[in-house]
Amino acid sequence: MPAPPAKLFITGASSGIGQALADYYAAQGAQLGLCARRSEPLQQLAARWPGQVHCYPLDVTDAAALRAAGEDFMANRGVPDIVIANAGISMGTLSEHAEDLDAIRRIMDTNFFGMAATFSPFIGPMRRAGRGRLVGIASVAGIRGLPGSEAYSASKAAVIAYLESLRVELRASGVKVVTLSPGYISTPMTAVNPFPMPFLMSAEAAAPRFARAIAKGCSYVVVPWQMGVLARLLRLLPNAVYDRLMVAAPRKPRQAAAE
């Protein structure tokens, strides 16, 4: 008998990496629960893949709404095979500006707390099923702090540590925890960057690479791989050398947060 179609729950599915992953898995026949703050792009995905998409317009900082969405998806489709916590926002922030503090909190709430809130409804059912993948979208920006991106770098560093803790916690359960750290992927979030982005890759090209890593249950993967090499080199640099290199690095502009 052919294997039943995969079941996935994805946040931040209205654009960028989330949308590319939704299209990739839908093309394989998957059943999808898709979350985003904007309803219209979700409805467009549902129209593109009729009968395969359940839409949940919500903000991932609303843990109660996420739990309700997760429970609804499981009631209709069963325990998902893969949960991808992709929702995230980014903007340049500087702590010296009091008006940036709200943005710093919002970035941390969305990128870090939103990931924990996404996984929370599914961990118990996945444990009991003894299978599944919890996938968190981190970033190479979480490996070392980038100037002008205090909140974004901090949120992604928190995500990397959180996923590592969760991976160890669930090691014997049959549930795999996968950390995906994108480099520069062409999305609305990177479109505002006023500087060259090395090894820039389209979200559509990145999606199958992410999917292969998820299928293998890899603990940590950087896409594209060249950014992984660069990030490792930066991690090894002494602070004094790193500081001298980065002090003049271009900054993401302070602006409304981009998803």
152 is catalytic: yes
Q: Give me 125's structure tokens.
A: 């059912």
DSSP H/E element including 210: helix 203-216
Question: How many CA atoms lie within 13 Å of 75's alpha carbon, on the beta-carbon side?
Answer: 6
Q: Scanning the structure block, which residue is given the tokens 């293998």?
A: 216
Q: Spell out a b/e string for 88-124, using b for 16 or more CB atoms within 10 Å of the CB, else e.
A: bbbbbbbeeeeebeebbebbbbbbbbbbbbbbebbbe
Say which of 25, 152, 162, 184 is annotated catalytic. 152
Q: Give me 211's structure tokens.
A: 């999917």
State in Å, rounded, how far the first CA of the chain is from the last one.
41
Residues in the chain: 259
Q: Are 107 and 155 in contact (CB under 8 A)?
A: yes
DSSP H/E element including 32: strand 31-36
- Cα–Cα distance, 50 to 43 (Å, whole number): 10
Q: Scanning the structure block, which residue is given the tokens 């090209």?
A: 205
Q: Are 182 and 209 in contact (CB under 8 A)?
A: no
Catalytic residue numbers? 152
